């Protein structure tokens, strides 16, 4: 069963919001270019919409053109329907459905064609799938990033399980950092010293071909816990499907959040280790052609730097996953001296580089540890022609 597509001008009405462009990002690594045709039987095309039940495809007949400058889609959870903070034009719809093969429910935006020239922010518990009968033009940004400790759409917050785990509490000077979240790559363990036990990193999970559409995982928290200073959360999950061409001049981003820096908690006066960064999420693209100089990014967030108890100084927060192809830096440690040696957080994973492990603290006084960086997410592209696209991590093409 296939969705019908025809290249004629769509009959639906056009809708546009005026606003400012918010593309962001520096020049990316030229080694990350995907440029050239891939081997796939043209008769097979791009297939049915992955992850979406056949019953949804059977009734898909969107004809409206949706032009977005700046907007936010909230995918929500449970029985609450997703929302968008603009009026959808006739011939488009936003709904939700179970996911083929299990996993979290999907929020599904169905359009005849789509243009994003500013920033389309995506938040909430469900992954977002956008289905277009013809083309998509993305000169701006589709943002499914984690926001600090708040996960991206379909991502996970910090804690045990697939995420990183907080380190052990060995006293004001020797608390271990939280581990970074894992997904397409493992996170990094937190830094430790003396008797402290490192916060373990989140493992690799899921499949390279994204059989299930799901986001990244969060890092391990501060030790001791300090309210309001969370680990980085996992990036979200976004899927784009167009029977025609997707022209990407901007970016689709599902990066992990940066871990909070350690601090001297006002409630108990104790110095804390840094929190782990969140992992990148998932991007899944299906198109007749994917072209442009744009970026698909699912990079990990940096770990937080540790506090210096003696100085009463806090560590810096880790950077979130970056809008260019580069590592998110770990937060700076609060200083040197008692309780402060070498306690900067770890960098996040990017491209094909894993989140680097932090060294064990050494010296007479040891110190609280920095948090580990989050691992990379996953990117899958299914298209007969892929030209000029930059990705981090490297995409799996036509699985």
Annotated domain spans of the chain: 14-73+82-399
Whose CA is closest to 343, among 173, 111, 225, 216?
Answer: 173
* Contact assessment for residue 104 and residue 55, using Cβ atoms and an 8 Å cutoff: no
CA 162 – CA 217 distance, rounded (Å): 6
Residue 272 pLDDT > 50: yes
Residue 338 pLDDT > 60: no
CA 319 – CA 307 distance, rounded (Å): 17
Give 236's DSSP letter: -
Question: CB-based contacts of 277: which residues, under 8 Å, 6+ apart?
Answer: 180, 181, 187, 219, 231, 232, 256, 257, 258, 259, 300, 301, 302, 303, 304, 318, 328, 330, 345, 346, 348, 355, 371, 372, 373, 374
Instruction: Please write the tens of the pLDDT for every residue from 71-93.
Output: 999 999 989 999 999 999 999 99
Instruction: Please write the tens of the pLDDT for every residue from 18-61.
Output: 222 222 333 333 334 443 333 333 334 678 999 999 888 767 78
CA 117 – CA 66 distance, rounded (Å): 11
Q: What is the mean pLDDT of the chain?
A: 84
Question: CB-based contacts of 224: which residues, under 8 Å, 6+ apart?
Answer: 169, 175, 265, 268, 270, 272
Q: What is the pLDDT of residue 193?
A: 77
Instruction: Please write the tens of the pLDDT for every residue from 281-309.
Output: 999 999 999 999 999 999 999 999 988 87
Q: How confident is the model at residue 121 (pLDDT cuts 50, 70, 90)?
A: very high
Residue 135 pLDDT > 50: yes
Q: Which two tokens stand for residue 366?
A: 């040891």
Q: How confident is the model at residue 12 (pLDDT cuts 50, 70, 90)?
A: very low
In whole angstroms, what separates CA 367 from the centre of its chain? 31
| Of residues 222 and 379, more confidently modeled | 379
Q: What is the pLDDT of residue 377?
A: 97
Helix (H) or strand (E) holding 379: strand 378-382
CA 52 – CA 334 distance, rounded (Å): 48
Give the Cα-Cα-Cα angle 284, 27, 207 (nearest 5 degrees). 25
DSSP of 266-282: TTT--B-PPPPPPPP-E
Q: How confident is the model at residue 353 (pLDDT cuts 50, 70, 90)?
A: confident
Q: How many residues does the structure list for the chain?
A: 399
CA 45 – CA 398 distance, rounded (Å): 11
| Of residues 9 and 360, more confidently modeled | 360
Q: Which two tokens stand for residue 127?
A: 């992954």
Give 340's DSSP letter: B
Give 374's DSSP letter: P
Instruction: Please write the tens of the pLDDT for every residue from 147-197.
Output: 999 999 999 986 545 678 888 777 666 788 999 999 999 999 998 877 788
Instruction: Please write the tens of the pLDDT for every residue from 230-249.
Output: 999 999 999 999 999 999 99
> CA 140, 116, 17, 80: dihedral to nearest 10 degrees?
-110
Residue 16 pLDDT > 50: no
């Amino acid at each position: 069963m296939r969705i019908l597509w025809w290249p004629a001008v769509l009959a639906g009405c056009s809708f546009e919001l005026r606003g400012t462009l918010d593309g962001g990002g520096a020049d990316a690594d030229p080694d990350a270019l995907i440029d050239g045709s891939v081997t796939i039987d043209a008769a097979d095309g791009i297939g049915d919409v992955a992850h979406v039940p056949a019953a949804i495809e059977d009734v898909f007949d969107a004809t409206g053109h949706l032009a977005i400058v700046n907007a936010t889609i909230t995918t929500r959870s449970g029985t609450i329907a997703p929302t968008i903070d603009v009026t959808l034009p006739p011939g488009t719809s936003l709904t939700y459905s179970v996911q083929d093969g299990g996993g979290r429910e999907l929020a599904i935006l169905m359009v005849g064609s789509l243009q994003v020239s500013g920033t389309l922010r995506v938040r909430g518990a469900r992954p977002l799938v956008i289905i277009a009968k013809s083309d998509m033009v993305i000169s701006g940004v589709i943002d499914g990033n984690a926001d600090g400790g708040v996960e991206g759409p379909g991502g996970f917050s910090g804690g045990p399980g697939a995420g990183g785990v907080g380190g052990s509490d060995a006293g004001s000077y020797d608390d271990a950092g939280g581990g970074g979240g894992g997904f397409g790559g493992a996170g990094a363990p937190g830094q430790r010293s003396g008797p402290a036990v490192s916060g373990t990193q989140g493992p690799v999970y899921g499949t390279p071909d994204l059989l299930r559409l799901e986001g990244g995982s969060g890092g391990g928290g501060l030790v001791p816990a300090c309210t309001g200073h969370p680990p980085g959360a996992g990036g979200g999950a976004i899927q784009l499907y167009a029977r025609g061409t997707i022209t990407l001049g901007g970016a689709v981003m599902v990066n992990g959040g940066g871990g909070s820096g350690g601090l001297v908690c006002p409630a108990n006066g104790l110095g804390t280790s840094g929190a782990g960064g969140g992992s990148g999420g998932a991007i899944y693209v299906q198109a007749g052609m994917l072209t442009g100089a744009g970026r698909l990014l699912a990079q990990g967030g940096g770990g937080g730097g540790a506090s210096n108890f003696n100085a009463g100084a806090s560590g810096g927060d880790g950077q979130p996953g970056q809008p260019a192809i580069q590592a998110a830096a770990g937060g700076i440690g609060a200083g040197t001296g008692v309780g402060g040696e070498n306690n900067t957080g770890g960098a996040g994973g990017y491209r094909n580089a894993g989140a680097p492990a932090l060294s064990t603290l050494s010296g007479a006084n040891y110190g609280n540890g920095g948090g580990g960086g989050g691992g990379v997410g996953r990117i899958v592209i299914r298209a007969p022609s892929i030209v000029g696209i930059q990705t981090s991590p490297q995409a799996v093409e036509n699985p």
